[in-house]
Structure 1
Amino acid sequence: MGFLGCLGAIYEVRCLLGLYFTCLLLILLAQIAAGALIYFQKEVLNVEMSKIVSKVLDNYPGNNSTTEQAWDFIQKNMECCGWDGRQDWSGNMVIINSSRLLFPCTCQNASLTSGNISDSGFCEALTPDWPVYDVGCAATVESWLLTNIGVVLGICLAVALIELLGMILSICLCRNIRNEDYTKVPKY
């Protein structure tokens, strides 16, 4: 899309500048619509996120896929376990079908254990009481968002202003391009 704007500006092609403006406008409108939906549909979003995370946890085989890495990163860095709590892992097929006492390694509470903590997969517990964080990731993610809401809104506002500036400049350039008669210009 930036290529359209560059070509339109360099070669003074009004059609490309108009297309660039239209693309920026559509992206800005989509971002505004997404923000409004997130704000007004918080409860629906929470329910859908719970369903998605529940599927991820139930089908987590521990073989380090991209989805698993993302979830492991959240659990380890946010110091949480499951979406609503550690009980969310009770539906995981690997844990259910294992003869050993397994728990997700990234849930492991570092203050309750000694030694190295694995970044993914399952660890074996010595007792039925897992040495994991009790708080769910929904609460910690929400807390993080509320703590950093100013930064998140600032970034969103900066992106919107840059898009708006690009739209204004493309329209100004488009209006200032004149159809000139190049037959009178001397050739070199």
Structure 2
Amino acid sequence: MAGVSGCVKYSMFTFNFLFWLCGILILALAIWVRVSSDSQEVLNSTDLSSSSYVAVNILIAVGAIIMILGFLGCCGAIKESRCMLLLFFIGLLLILLLQVAAGILGAVFKSESDRIINETLRENTKLLSTTEESAKQFQQAMVEFQKEFKCCGLINGAADWGNNFQQYPNLCECLDTQRPCTNYNGKLVYQEPCISSIRDFLVKNLIIVIGIAFGLAVIEILGLVFSMVLYCQIGNK
């Protein structure tokens, strides 16, 4: 009868130990964001409240699941437990299938997501011209975004700021002569609205997310192969 390969066994243990550490890191960061007083101010802002809490809660769940799977994989490899290895295999396979399903849904509903982004930006345009305190944080974020990406407003340029245009010093001030500028209320400001920069920013980040997801998928497939090889070797002892 064939024995259990030490190389496969300890490779499986090392893989899952790193997997377990990643789970701890994700869980710790997510819990810190959830309970931190500074983060609470951001999470409780009017626009981001519900969606931000959902995102943080999902991260907590993901971190916990990765920890459990890493534990099952480590113990299953060291103790040569077929039951633990099978549970690890099933759990990792479900995660991989969910990732594939999310990718397919993202591709199918791409046009719908573009529409939602456009509607969200149009709604947020109203926050630039309001004087409510709840909108101040969003306005400050937009001021910094405009400086970095050399644009002004969200959709209609400087006009999106309404009466708030005079409230912020040097708002949209056109300092780059290579960019198109226009005169607004006696000030030279960037002519291009920020909606195109935001779209480009989202696309670039989406590419990063897709790259990370692809990398995770490769790691998960390796984990599936290691666990099944070890599972079969234990059964043949």
TM-score range, shorter chain: 0.5 to 0.7
Whether contact under 8 Å (1:103, 1:130) holds in the other structure is: no
Whether contact under 8 Å (2:174, 2:189) holds in the other structure is: yes
Indicate how the Cα distance of structure 1 residues 43 and 64 shifts in structure 2: closer, same or farther if over 3 A, else same.
Answer: closer
Q: Which structure has the larger Rg?
A: 1
Unaligned residue ranges in structure 1 (runs of 5+) = 113-125, 181-188
Unaligned residue ranges in structure 2 (runs of 5+) = 1-65, 129-134, 178-183
CA deviations 1:12-57 (Å, max 9, x no partner) are 2222222222222222222222222222222111111123334444
Residue 82 (structure 1) shift: 4.8
Whether contact under 8 Å (2:173, 2:187) holds in the other structure is: no
SS at match of 1:62: helix
Identify the residue that residue 10 of structure 1 maps to in structure 2: 78
Choose from 3, 14, 20 the match for 2:88.
Answer: 20
Choose from 166, 176, 190 the match for 1:132.
Answer: 190
Letter paired with 2:136: G
Residue 62 (structure 1) shift: 2.2
TM-score (norm 2): 0.49
Structure 2: distance between partners of 1:104 and 1:48: 32
**2:36 equivalent to 1:36:** no
Identify the residue that residue 166 of structure 1 maps to in structure 2: 223
Identity of aligned residues (%): 30
**2:166 equivalent to 1:101:** yes
Counting only pairs closer than 5 Å after superposition, residues 83-94 of structure 1 correspond to structure 2 as: 83-86=154-157, 89=160
CA RMSD after TM alignment: 4.1
Report the count of equivalent residues. Answer: 158
CA deviations 1:49-101 (Å, max 9, x no partner) are 12333444434622379xx75x66655544444554537835xxxx55x5x63
Indicate how the Cα distance of structure 1 residues 148 and 53 shifts in structure 2: closer, same or farther if over 3 A, else same.
Answer: closer
Q: Which one has the bigger helix percentage? A: 2
Residue 158 (structure 1) shift: 2.5
